[in-house]
Structure formats: structure tokens, C-alpha cells
Amino acid sequence: MVAIAVEETALSADRLKGEVARTTFQILLLASAASRGEHLDARIDHASPQWQAGIPRPDLRRVSQPIGPVLVFAASNFPFAFSVAGGDTASALAAGCPVIVKTHPGHPRLSSEVADLVREALLGAGAPDGVFETIAGLDAGIAALRNDSIGAAAFTGSFRAGRALFDIAQSRRVPIPFYGELGSVNPVFVLPDAAKSHADEIVRGLVSSFTASAGQLCTKPGAVVVPEGSEVMRMLRQVELPTGLVLLNPAITDGFRRRLAQILSQDGVQVLAGLPAGDHDAPAAVILRVSASDLADRDWISEECFGPVTVIVEYEDARQLVSIADAFDGQLAVGVYGTDSDRGIAQDILPRLRARAGRLVWNSWPTGVSVTSAQQHGGPYPSSTSLVTSVGTSALARFVRPVAYQDFPAWLLPPELDEENSLGIERRVDGTVTPRHEALGKESKERKR
Amino acid sequence: MVAIAVEETALSADRLKGEVARTTFQILLLASAASRGEHLDARIDHASPQWQAGIPRPDLRRVSQPIGPVLVFAASNFPFAFSVAGGDTASALAAGCPVIVKTHPGHPRLSSEVADLVREALLGAGAPDGVFETIAGLDAGIAALRNDSIGAAAFTGSFRAGRALFDIAQSRRVPIPFYGELGSVNPVFVLPDAAKSHADEIVRGLVSSFTASAGQLCTKPGAVVVPEGSEVMRMLRQVELPTGLVLLNPAITDGFRRRLAQILSQDGVQVLAGLPAGDHDAPAAVILRVSASDLADRDWISEECFGPVTVIVEYEDARQLVSIADAFDGQLAVGVYGTDSDRGIAQDILPRLRARAGRLVWNSWPTGVSVTSAQQHGGPYPSSTSLVTSVGTSALARFVRPVAYQDFPAWLLPPELDEENSLGIERRVDGTVTPRHEALGKESKERKR
């Protein structure tokens, strides 16, 4: 499958092998979260004769249930991890929802191979036939999104396509949640002392981060805010950058060249290192530069350029950083490079950065999104169309809906809400959270050994 | 204030006194949930050298933060509990968001009095000036909803108004969450054995539930499914119902008469008890009747009639119940009256009822929504425009957005995520939930005594 993916996407075999491992890992992690009931938010409030200003409280129990069939729009740039068997599919299935994947036209043979594998695995595990299907083509995707039986949709891709699909989902007779991960610039702020004391680490890290996968990552640092005349600036002018890069497909190559030309036509934008893509048959990585004062009142910096480019925003004075932060829209991630000596300015800008980010990264780069319980991959609009995450165990909760049971007899309650907690899941009982039953939680015991 | 509310809404002083107690109770309950951090979903994943297929995991910590200024559209029918200082306002403030309330024109003097009280309380507690404001008039409400600085909106009211406002919120340049609680029929299914053995309790309960507050409750049972020829049917024909009811305002009185006339014009609909509202200066409570077979392929039963009326749907055979259940759209609540002898049919219809309800009620009526941790007041569209609840402690989570911190130094982390849990809040650490610190949780200790 990696060989097919190399052919269809031009991504490297090493990168794709790592992506397969990540895809398997996230399926297993989501399975484990589902089995401890993390997404169910099960709650039990026992009946109480005196509750609300002397009025009795009935027995109330609540648990989330699958939202219904989920439509997944596969991404181009992660043919395994955000495609047919990617995080959206895995979290919807783990939450108990049937899945229809609208495959990405960039890797049709791989999509078909992976789909066969998923179907086989589901049948082998006893899932009913039809729990998983794929469709191809934008028209089919839109028709499915408009279909009454679809309960939610998930999407990873461009701002333009994402917003158009969001609008369709919200204007249905019955609107449905549309979990879109759209574009992002992911600016990184290099504070004055870090630019002095960690210049080498910063320059090497930046080049590696913005050129990884030829810059085709939604968390690529597309803007880096650097002090004027710093060691970082001096070193950036001298870096060598990769050339002859092959992007995912001709449409993405064209889009990259077009957007790069737009940025180069902005007042004050110069080439700092590398060769602008338009000069070659295949794109080359390029670092552009603009001064913070040339950026005032301009909004082009907030629009993503998908591909191997980053823009250095040079500032004269750390007091400019607050207004530079305000120039950015909602972002998947925002980075800060700082030291203890940068404490004052770090504390000043943090509230501005937090207001526009899903994830804040300290002394590292936004690429490389770890799949964990605390992960948040999803930021304020326009980086996402919802407030939730598509990576990490919280991704499960996108595909369920809570239902409360009032005064139900034991024989009619779902097992998640029985008195003895026979499933051993996490629950909130009379207001207090209780972890998974150790007695029943085989997995957690095994992990401790 | 109760005296003003009686004048402005025609609701009874007793009902309004109870509502004041409920309003105070829910403010205190939300404060308690906020202080234990229930809505923050704080998560800590410590750095790990071996995590995702051999790749190290960074230190990742996530906590939710206020979503920004919240616009609340007050309801007419709960001048305290769903108005200026109601659940939406309380949960937005408790989550840390400024609030602008668009007051309801049905109780302007009360709104002004309550607003003064809220402002005074907030200033007394040290909140910054401007954290709470009110506006009046639909045009002002729509302008606020379109304003870029609003982060979310909450609404309780009619389907028509709710959908129109939802559409505005979703078509903004930056769409925002719109938490709308719209209308609902809240059907109650009386199973065969219950109709025999509990007829007296059912008839008394129904009359009390559908005429409470002159039927102006969003959880009023607007349809009751009853076996033909049962003791319940016999008793219903003989009940005495209240007359000379005064509704909240002339627009609601007109709407009630109009919708009632529409229902009376449907094939097979008859008056079972009471006097249709059109015959009198003031409306009277009325029970209508239709046979299940006359209901086939009709969708009028799914549209709410706000006011003192309920429709009895008479069925010949319990096997009809599944298709009757399918006749209903998404509902805030669905009730079932049954006994152990009704077990088979109860199990058969439960999946259909669960698929279309936010709350399922056993041997009781949907009115009277207890404010608790496990409550779910919000069901599938069209009963709500979101999947969340506006009543109970989960209401807090509507007004926050998660942010992750990767590899942050201790001095820059928010206190919710510090290593020692200095705030003593609930957190999920390395995948496992931990209850609020007992050492620091004064409240929970006091509750145990």
C-alpha cells in the first residue's frame, strides 16, 4: 500500500510508512477510549426527596448514543491518516456510527485497497454489512451531504471547499454538525532572547518543519515573526533549501504557484532564501520576508499558501508583537519560541495568541500532531468550522448525542447506565466523576503491569 | 418582582414563586459545577519517550476557555428561569463569558428589574463593568447576532423564530454556535397494561401536566397515544377542564386559536373533552382525539400547538405503536406509561423513541425539568438546533472552547493545568479521570457531612 501511495501522492516512502504506523496507532487509541466510555459522558443522578428548592429529584441517567451515519470527506495530504481509514472514519466507527467516505481523487487506487481492508476487518469483527461504504466524486459527496439519513459530516481540506460544504450542511431542512478542518497559517513568534540564544535550533527546526512533506501539512508554520537584525535573520539568509519538489497533484502545484505570486506582489515582500516556485519546472522551497510595518492593515498574511513556503515577519521592537498577533485570524496552532528572559513579553502576548489558536506550542514547531487524550486539533474559524478536535480521543465525542432516561426501570435501561456499572465505564454519579472500574477494566490493569 | 411578573405574564403567583426558587437554585448549581471545573474538561498528558509507534509524546495539556460574548434571546413563558437571569445567562456567566440579553417584549418591566439586580450582583462580586447588558427589540437582537464580537447565541422560543436566527448565525462571515431550544410535541405512549391498571393516575396526571401554566410549557405533552376502548379513554371523556384561561400575551392567544382551528379541520379529529378555544373570550383547555389510522401519512401531529390542548391518538393494536412513533420528528422529551406486563412492546418501541428524543420519561409526564447533572433538555432537530442541553450542569460546556498547550513552561501555564492541581478541579491525567481534589474541595466535603 505504501508503494501505491508513493505513486499516487509523490510523498516519500519513509513519510508514508510513518503515517501507516500513526493510522494504526490512532485506531487502537480510539478503540481504547471508546471501551472506557470516554465519549459517552455517562451520568447518574439518583432520586432525591429534597433537591431543587424542596422539590424531589427524579432518578435521571444520561448517556450518549451514536448520531447516525457519518459522511467523511477524505483529505489529499494524508492518504492514510486523514483518508479512508483515517481519524474521522475511526472515531465515527468507534462511536458506533456507520460511515460513508467520499474518497479523494488524488489517491483512488490506494483508497480502494484500504476500503477493501476496512470492510474485511469490519465483517471479521461481526459488524453488519453496509456499515462502511465509499463513494467517489464531488457530486456524489454533495448529494450524500444533502441526504436526510446522514447525521454528521467530517472534512479535512481547503477553506473554500470546506465553507461551501458547511453552508450546504447548515441549510438542509434538518441541519447537521459539519466538522471541517480548513486551512491555517500557524504563525510562530520568536521572542528576542530566544532569537539570540537559540538561533541555530530555530533555523534548523523551521526549515525542517516548513519543508516537511513539501510544505503540504495543515500545521505548516506559514509565518514566523522574528526580531530584525537578529542572529536568526542572519542565518536564514544563508540556508540552503530543497528544490525540484513534487507536490501532491497538478491542482495543488498550480494553486501553490498562484498564491505564491500573489504574496510576492504585496508591498514590501522580498525573497530571503530559495527560489520562487515560478522559475522552475518543479517548485522549490522558498522563504519570504516582510517587515512588520509593511504588514499593518493588510490581511493577506492570514491566508494559507499550501506548499513549501514560509513568510518571515521582521519586527523592530517587541512592543509590536501584540498588534502582529492581532493580524491573524483563527489558527489550528500558534507557536512561541522564548526563554525565561522573554517572560514579560510572553505573558503579554499569550492572551492574544490563546484567543486565536486551538493549540499553543512552546519552543517547538506546530507540525507533528501527537495523537493523545489532551490533543486539540481544531481552532477558531476559519481554521475549523466547529469547536472540537479531529485528532485525539476527544474526536469520538463529535459523533454522539446525549439522551436522558427519567425514572426508568432497570430492565429497560441501557447497560451503560445500570446500577452496578457492568460495563465498567467512566461515569459521573451524583455529580462526582468516577474512573473506569478497575475490577472490570482489564486493559488498564494490563497497562500497569 | 413576582407581582410585576403576574401583571405582565398572567402566570399565577404560586407558579412564579416556584420559578424564582428554581432560578436561584440553577444559578447556585451552575456555580458549583463551574468551581469543580466540570465544563473545563482539563486534560494532562505528560511527556513520554515512547508513545505513538516509537515517536515521543510531548507534554500536552488542554483546558477550555470562555468562547467570548454570548447573546441570549429571552423566552416569554419562563420570565425568570429562561429570561434575563435564566439558565442561559447563568451558564454563560459561569463559563466566564460576558452576556448580552435580548429581552422578551412580554415582560419589559420585570426584565429591567432583574437586569438591575444582575448588574448590581456582578459589580458587588468584582466583575468588570459591561460584563452584562440588555437590549430590546428584534432588530437590535438581529444586529447583535450579526456583530463580529459575539461568540455564541442561545435562544428559547418558537420553531419559526429559532430557525430564522439559526440561519443568520450560520451564514455570518464567521459562523457561531447557535443553541436554540425550539418547539416540541413531547408525545406520551400509554401501553396496554398501564392503560388498564393505572388509568386514574394517568388521567389525573395528564390533565395536570397539559393544563399547567395554561399549556405554555415547551415540554407540554401535546399528544398522548392511548389504547382504544381502554379505561383511560372512558375517563378522559368525563374529565372537567379549566376554562377562562389567560395566555401570556395576545399574540400567543391568537396563535393558539389559529393552530387549534387547523388541527380541528384535520380528517378524523374530534373534541373529546373541554370546549374549543374559539367559542369563548378566553381560551379553555381542550382534549382532542384522532384514531391512529387517521394519522397515517399525516405530519400535522408533529407541529406544536402552544397552549392548553392535547391530542389523544387512539390505537387498536399495540403493533401500531412502532409506526405511530415514526410519525414524530425530533422531540425534547418522549414519555412512556407501562408496567412489567408491557415489557415486550416497551422494548420494541424504545429504539424508535430514543432516536427522536432528548429525554425519555417513564411513568411520569415530561413537564417539570429537574435541574441536575444528568439532565438533557434538548433533542434532535427540530426540537433543538444543537445536540447539547440548556438545562443542567452540562449547559456550561456550550460556552467554552478547548485550547491545548504543548511543552509549556510551568510559569506560562494557566492554573487549571498546573502540576499540583492548585485549583483542585476535575482533570483527566494520562487518560484517567480524577475527581475534584478532596483536600481542596471544601464544598464536596461539606456535602458529605
Give the one of B60, B376, B388 whose C-beta lies nearest to A370's C-beta.
B60
What band does B279 get if pLDDT is binned at 50, 70 and 90? low
Secondary structure (3-state) at A99? strand
Amino acid present at A43: R
Cis amide linkage into residue B366, ω under 30° from 0: no
- Residue from A376, A396, A425, A436 to probe the interface with B (highest B Cβ count within 10 Å): A376
As a whole number of angstroms, the distance between CA B424 and CA B37 comes to 9
Q: Tell me whether B375 touches chain A (CB under 8 Å).
A: yes
In angstroms, the separation between the Cα of residue A281 and the nearest Cα of chain B is: 35
Task: Look at residue A278 in the predicted model and tell me its pLDDT.
Answer: 54
Q: Residue A136 pLDDT more than 80? A: yes
Give the one of A381, A407, A428 whose C-beta lies nearest to B373's C-beta.
A428
Residue in chain A closest to B151 (alpha carbons) equals A380
Residue in chain A closest to B358 (alpha carbons) equals A403
ipTM over 0.90: yes
Residue in chain B closest to A381 (alpha carbons) equals B174
Q: Residue A293 pLDDT more than 50? A: yes
In angstroms, the separation between the Cα of residue A337 and the nearest Cα of chain B is: 10
As a whole number of angstroms, the distance between CA B220 and CA B187 comes to 9
Q: Tell me whether B58 touches chain A (CB under 8 Å).
A: yes
Give the one of B346, B408, B431 whose C-beta lies nearest to A373's C-beta.
B431
Task: Look at residue A395 in the predicted model and tell me its pLDDT.
Answer: 97
Phi and psi torsions of B394, nearest 5°: -65, -15
Amino acid present at A346: A
Cis amide linkage into residue B402, ω under 30° from 0: no
In angstroms, the separation between the Cα of residue B266 and the nearest Cα of chain A is: 24
Q: Tell me whether A31 touches chain B (CB under 8 Å).
A: no
Contacts of A431 in chain B (CB under 8 A): 33, 373, 393
Furthest C-alpha separation in chain B: 79
As a whole number of angstroms, the distance between CA A69 and CA B355 comes to 13
User: Is residue A381 within 8 Å of residue B170, measured between CB atoms?
Assistant: no
Angle at B117 between CA B150 and CA B375, to 5 degrees: 65
User: Is residue A298 within 8 Å of residue A262, measured between CB atoms?
Assistant: no
What band does B64 get if pLDDT is binned at 50, 70 and 90? very high
What band does B225 get if pLDDT is binned at 50, 70 and 90? very high
What band does B448 get if pLDDT is binned at 50, 70 and 90? very low
Give the one of A55, A58, A361 whose C-beta lies nearest to B406's C-beta.
A361
- Residue from B403, B411, B426, B443 to probe the interface with A (highest A Cβ count within 10 Å): B403
Q: Residue B241 pLDDT more than 70? A: yes
CA-based nearest residue to A259, from A238, A283, A236: A283
Q: Residue B24 pLDDT more than 70? A: yes
Q: Quick check: A403 and B44 CB within 8 A?
A: no
In angstroms, the separation between the Cα of residue A374 and the nearest Cα of chain B is: 5
pLDDT in tens, A51-103: 987 889 999 999 999 999 999 999 999 999 999 999 999 999 999 999 999 99
Task: Look at residue B443 in the predicted model and tell me its pLDDT.
Answer: 44
Mark whether B181 is an active-site residue.
Answer: yes
Q: Residue B418 pLDDT more than 60? A: yes
pLDDT in tens, A370-393: 999 999 999 999 999 999 999 999
Q: Which residue out of B38, B181, B314, B426 is catalytically annotated?
A: B181
User: Is residue A10 within 8 Å of residue A248, measured between CB atoms?
Assistant: yes
Give the one of B67, B403, B434 whose C-beta lies nearest to A360's C-beta.
B403
What mean pLDDT do residues A241-257 have?
A: 93
Amino acid present at A442: K
In angstroms, the separation between the Cα of residue A293 and the nearest Cα of chain B is: 25
Secondary structure (3-state) at A31? helix
pLDDT in tens, A379-429: 999 999 999 999 999 999 999 999 999 999 999 999 999 999 999 999 999
Residue in chain A closest to B371 (alpha carbons) equals A52
Q: Tell me whether A76 touches chain B (CB under 8 Å).
A: no
pLDDT in tens, A160-170: 999 999 999 99
What mean pLDDT do residues A226-232 have?
A: 97
Q: Which residue out of A218, A305, A314, A416 is catalytically annotated?
A: A218
Task: Look at residue A120 in the predicted model and tell me its pLDDT.
Answer: 96
Give residue for cell 447556585: B28
pTM: 0.95
Q: Quick check: B406 and A372 CB within 8 A?
A: no
Furthest C-alpha separation in chain A: 79
What mean pLDDT do residues B290-300 have?
A: 87
Q: Percent of chain B, pLDDT > 90? A: 91
Q: Tell me whether B24 touches chain A (CB under 8 Å).
A: yes
What mean pLDDT do residues B362-368 have?
A: 97
pLDDT in tens, B337-354: 999 999 999 999 999 999
Contacts of A433 in chain B (CB under 8 A): 426, 433-435
What band does A280 get if pLDDT is binned at 50, 70 and 90? low
Task: Look at residue A441 in the predicted model and tell me its pLDDT.
Answer: 41
In angstroms, the separation between the Cα of residue A186 and the nearest Cα of chain B is: 14
As a whole number of angstroms, the distance between CA A201 and CA A188 comes to 14
Mark whether A181 is an active-site residue.
Answer: yes
Q: Tell me whether B51 touches chain A (CB under 8 Å).
A: yes
Q: Tell me whether A387 touches chain B (CB under 8 Å).
A: yes
What band does A447 get if pLDDT is binned at 50, 70 and 90? very low
Q: Quick check: B426 and A433 CB within 8 A?
A: yes
Q: Residue A444 pLDDT more than 70? A: no
In angstroms, the separation between the Cα of residue A270 and the nearest Cα of chain B is: 31
Q: Which residue out of A8, A181, A416, A426 is catalytically annotated?
A: A181
Q: Tell me whether A159 touches chain B (CB under 8 Å).
A: no
Contacts of A33 in chain B (CB under 8 A): 431
What mean pLDDT do residues A148-171 have?
A: 97
Cell triple for A260: 505564491
Contacts of A374 in chain B (CB under 8 A): 43-45, 60-62, 404, 428
Task: Look at residue B449 in the predicted model and tell me its pLDDT.
Answer: 33
Residues 325-344 of A with CB under 8 A from B: 330, 340, 343
Between B2-9 and B108-124, two packed helices, what is the crossing angle to 10 degrees?
150
Flag the least confident range among B8-17, B161-170, B430-439.
Answer: B430-439
User: Is residue B183 within 8 Å of residue B383, measured between CB atoms?
Assistant: yes
Phi and psi torsions of B156, nearest 5°: -130, 120
Task: Look at residue A295 in the predicted model and tell me its pLDDT.
Answer: 85
Phi and psi torsions of A334, nearest 5°: -135, 135
Contacts of B171 in chain A (CB under 8 A): 167, 170
Q: Residue A39 pLDDT more than 80? A: yes
Q: Tell me whether A15 touches chain B (CB under 8 Å).
A: no
Residue in chain B closest to A174 (alpha carbons) equals B381
Q: Quick check: A426 and B433 CB within 8 A?
A: yes
Q: Residue A440 pLDDT more than 80? A: no
Task: Look at residue B221 in the predicted model and tell me its pLDDT.
Answer: 98
Q: Quick check: B362 and A57 CB within 8 A?
A: no
